[in-house]
Every structure is written in C-alpha cells, then in structure tokens.
Amino acid sequence: MKQPESHILVIFGASGDLTRRKLIPALYELHTRNLLPDQFAVLGVSRTELSDLEFQDKMREFLPANDHNQKDIDEFMVHLYYQTLSTAESDEYPVLKQRLESLGSELSIPENYIYYLSTPPNLYQVIPQSLAEVGLNDSTNGFKRLIIEKPFGTDLTSARELNKNLLNYFKENQLYRIDHYLGKETVQNMLVTRFSNGIFEPVWNRNFVHHVEITSAETLGVEERGGYYDHSGAMRDMVQNHLMQLVGLVAMEPPVVIDANAIRNETLKVFQSLRPIKETEVEKHVIRGQYIQSHVGKDLINGYREEHGVDPLSRTETYLAMKFYIDNFRWAGVPFYIRTGKKLPARVTEVVIHFKNTPHHLFGTQATTEQVNNQLVLRIQPDEGILLKIGMKVPGSGFNVQTVNMNFHYSELSDIYLPTAYGRLLLDCMQGDATLYARGDAVEKAWEFVQPILNAWQNNPDIPIYGYPAGTWGPEVVDQLMEEGQWRYPCKNLAHDGEYCEL
Ligand code: BG6
C-alpha cells in the first residue's frame, strides 16, 4: 500500500473523547503498520491550555502499552503537537495559520492539511468559515481536506444548511463526511460478496429475494452520553446514517468502477428510490421503543429514563424497527426491515437476505420435514463472516429435510490484519480517496426519507413508544411488523442463532 503524501492533520476538539478513544489509537495503528508518511504531524487544537508535551502525555494514556511497544509509542508521540485556540473565535485563526507554517518549515512538510472536526456540531459553521478567512481552505499549494463527524444536521433543513455552508468554503471533493460503518471491513466485503461472485448477483433481486432484514443490536445503553442521546434517539443516531448506508450497499446496482463517484452515485440512486413513508403511515410502518428497568440475573438494570442526562419523562426512542420498500426494477415489492436498539441481548450487526421458497414443496408432505427458508447472513460484527442456510436430507429412509448452516468466519483467515474503521478511513482521506465517505446529496436524501417519521413523532404524541425490559429483543409488537416469517434472533456467535443470548 502506498504511503500518503506528507501532511499535517489538525484535530479540532483534541481534548475530547473521540480524539483519545478513536483517532489517536487509529493513527497509532497506522504508525505501527508503517502507513503514515515520514514527514507527518498531528496538531491537536482545543481551548484547554496544554503544551505539546502535556498533550502527548494525555494521549499516551489511551495507547495500550506492553513490554514490546514502548519504543513504537515513543516514536509515535514525537508526531503529536498541540495548539491552544478558541475555535469559535474567528480572530484567533491567524495564530493557527502561523503555527501550521512554522511546523511545516520545521518538519519540511508542504502545505498539505487535513482538518478533522471532532467538535460539537455547533462549530461546523464557524470552523470552516474561519479557516477560509485566513486562506486555509486554498488548495493551490497543497491539499486541504475537511473531515466532519456526524451528526450531519439534526433534520433535513439543518442538513441542507450545513451542506450549503460547507460548500461556501470548501469544494465537495475536499469534504469527507465520516460514517464509521463504511470503514468496517465487513461492510466493504458486502460489495465484494455481491460483485465478485457469479452465484449471488443473479438471485439478488425481487425474483428470488423474499425480504431483507438488517439488524444492528447493542448490549450497551446510553452510558455517559445521555445528554446527547436524549436529543438524538435511534433514528438520528443509527438509522439516518449507519443503517441507511448499509441499505445503500445491499441494494445498489453494480457500479461501473470502484471509485468514489461511481459507488456514491449508486447508493444515491437507492436513496432516491426509497418509497416515502407518509406521516399518516408512520404508526403502521415504524415501531419505536425505550428500554425500561429490568432484572438480568442478579443485576438490576436501569431504565433509559433513569440514565444520567436523560429527561425523566423522555420519549426518545432507544429502539426502532421499520419496514419500507425500494421502488425500482430490482427491488419492487420486496420488503426491507431494519431494526436497531440499545440494551438488547446481544451486540450484533448483520444483513440477512431471505430467499423465496421453492415454487413447489416437493418434500413438504411429511410431518418431520421443515419448510426451508434459505437465508444468506452477512455478519458485520462480531464473529465476522458469512452464513448460508440450506435444506439437506436427513439421513435415513424417506426424504426428510432439515435446515443446516454453511458458514465462513473471518477468524479462520489467520495472519490477516483487520484494520479498525477509523484507521481505514483516516488512511483513505490521507490518500484523497472519498469512496467510503458519505456524499452531501446522499446524506440529504437519507434525511428526506426519515424526516416525515420524525415529524409524525413530534406532531402526534399519540403514536406509542413501547417500553421493553432492558436485555430483551425490544417491544413484542415488533413481530407484527414482519408480515410473513419472523425476525432472526442472532447471537454473538454467527452460527448459534435462535437461542437466547447474553446481555
Ligand atoms: C455511533 C453511535 O455512531 O455508533 C453510537 O453514536 C453507537 O450510539 C455506535 O453505539 C455503534 O457503533 P459500533 O461500531 O459499535 O456498531
């Protein structure tokens, strides 16, 4: 893999949680794999007063040290610098410019800068504008790229405004909207599974697929993020971004080539084909839930409303299941089901393609014969892999059929390095590849789809929000959403499905 060009990565919000939990470990991972350029610096920027050394010491705490990696960590630390700055004050940006210039000449780095906005979203307006005011958006003498973390707006209107504002100061090809799901190896593998195998693509359509089910379940609750989450909820936190991106990759047409525009054009077309759910239909197609206090084993688990930072009367959804259609030639009439939630029994993300039954049930007359429902499970996490469920003859007399699993686990590929999502995405941005970043038009389309649902919940308080005991698979009423068949109850282990799992 080629190393990116020398550059300085400026992290705004450097004293925040994301920087130490995700960004610094991801950069260290790139360092240990020799994927960072020789001339490279990270400039942490934030209001907190810190020296370079103090910043390095703070970041060091988040790198797991052992007997073998002390030297690696020390070598990595040398790349970290810090600048105190009130990011909200435009008139402080000349200081930033000066610091970048002096770092550049000290370390022989050209004017290649990546800006990472790891800040609260209310700074997404002022930072790009202030950078532009001092010419730090100008790519004439070196690349200037801007990485933005979600949320990309909190509704359709604010998402449009955000895009408009960003485009006042940066061009679309300088913008990298990060969705860490796209950085997951197994998410990218969905494209490879679909488009490199002759056997899947011919059946990947309405003629053979009965329905598609996408689950992203978490065992954790909102932890320390109650304040943020209570204004967000599962729709804004998971569905509008991560799950819609999964839908895009599962449902898209083959791109002409693998590059940023070709792939993103195809996912956009999927979003353009989503059948809108009208406000009046929301109750029928979307079910929301909120976890309530429960006992798991000997432990008493808090309900959502008891969590720190959450309104005790909150009606924010921690669970959501919905059914929708994609109105195009490939998917006409095929229901798509997605479900996500916090405090569910297992941490699992997977896509399940449920195939139609055989047209004639040849073996269906015997009492011991199962009705085979062929499923292809693309497991995104954990126990990453693929599982195909097929019918097999039970040995012995007669023609009794039983469903069996054919499965592949990534863990079987020993010595294979699975990069973290942030490591992969940061490296892509350093190399100028936006394929796995969300494009502005697609983000807006995804908002267009979810907005009527948010409106309905806001305008019509009678739409129920169902309680579900923490540690269960969500409100029971969700079963009614699935017309035929039933939701899969996946476990941590890919092949152990249908069992009740751990919390
Ligand atoms: C984040 C959400 O974007 O994704 C979190 O804000 C959620 O609430 C997380 O827990 C899930 O990511 P992952 O990679 O753990 O599935």
Atom number, ligand 1, closest to the C-alpha of residue 225? 8
The C-alpha angle 420, 424, 425, rounded to 5 degrees, equals 115
Q: Where are the beta strands (DSSP E) in 286-372?
A: 286-292, 294-296, 299-301, 319-324, 336-341, 348-355
Q: What DSSP assignment string belongs to 237-260?
A: IIIIIIIHHHHHHHHPPPPSSSSH
Atom number, ligand 1, closest to the C-alpha of residue 241? 3
Alpha-carbon dihedral sign for residues 364, 367, 373, 377: negative
Alpha-carbon dihedral sign for residues 413, 419, 425, 427: negative
Q: What is the largest CA-CA distance in the chain?
A: 84
Where does residue 398 fall: left (phi above 0), alpha (psi -120 to 50 degrees), or beta otherwise? Answer: left
Q: Which of 79, 242, 295, 361 is catalytic?
A: 242
Task: State the CATH architecture for 7-149.
Answer: 3-Layer(aba) Sandwich (3.40)
Atom number, ligand 1, closest to the C-alpha of residue 349? 16
Q: Is the CB of 307 under 6 A from ligand 1?
A: no
pLDDT tens sequence across 311-361: 999 999 999 999 999 999 999 999 999 999 999 999 999 999 999 988 888
- Strand (E) or helix (H) holding 393: strand 385-393
φ, ψ for residue 426 (rounded to 5)? Answer: -60, -45
How much distance in Å is there from the Cα of 237 to the middle of ligand 1?
A: 8
pTM of the model: 0.93
Contacts of 367 (CB under 8 A, 6+ apart): none
pLDDT tens sequence across 114-166: 999 999 999 999 999 999 999 999 999 999 999 999 899 999 999 999 999 99
Instruction: Please say if 211 is a catalytic residue.
Output: no
CB atoms within 10 A of CB 308: 11
How much distance in Å is there from the Cα of 181 to the middle of ligand 1?
A: 9
Cα–Cα dist 162/164, whole Å: 5
Q: Ligand 1: which of 177, 186, 215, 218 to mutate, judged by most atoms within 8 Å of the beta carbon?
A: 218
Question: Looking at the domain 182-419+440-481, which fold is it?
Answer: Dihydrodipicolinate Reductase; domain 2 (3.30.360)
Q: Is the CB of 237 under 6 A from ligand 1?
A: yes
* Closest residue by CA, ligand 1 atom 5: 237
* Closest residue by CA, ligand 1 atom 9: 238
* Closest residue by CA, ligand 1 atom 15: 218
**What are the residue ranges in the chain where pLDDT is below 50?**
503
Cα–Cα dist 455/446, whole Å: 15
CB atoms within 10 A of CB 195: 15
Atom number, ligand 1, closest to the C-alpha of residue 181? 14
How much distance in Å is there from the Cα of 374 to the middle of ligand 1?
A: 30
Owner of token pair 């910043």: 55
Cα–Cα dist 277/470, whole Å: 29
Q: Is the CB of 218 under 6 A from ligand 1?
A: yes
**Crossing angle for the helix pair 126-133 and 156-169, nearest 10 degrees?**
10
Q: What DSSP assignment string belongs to 152-207?
A: S-SSHHHHHHHHHHHHHHS-GGGEEE--GGGG-HHHHHHHHHHHH-TTTGGGSSTT
pLDDT given at position 338:
98
Could you state, in order of their start, the residue ranges of all structural domains in the chain?
Answer: 7-149, 182-419+440-481
Cα–Cα dist 342/346, whole Å: 10
pLDDT given at position 486:
87
Cα–Cα dist 409/391, whole Å: 21
How much distance in Å is there from the Cα of 110 to the middle of ligand 1?
A: 35
How much distance in Å is there from the Cα of 230 to the middle of ligand 1?
A: 15
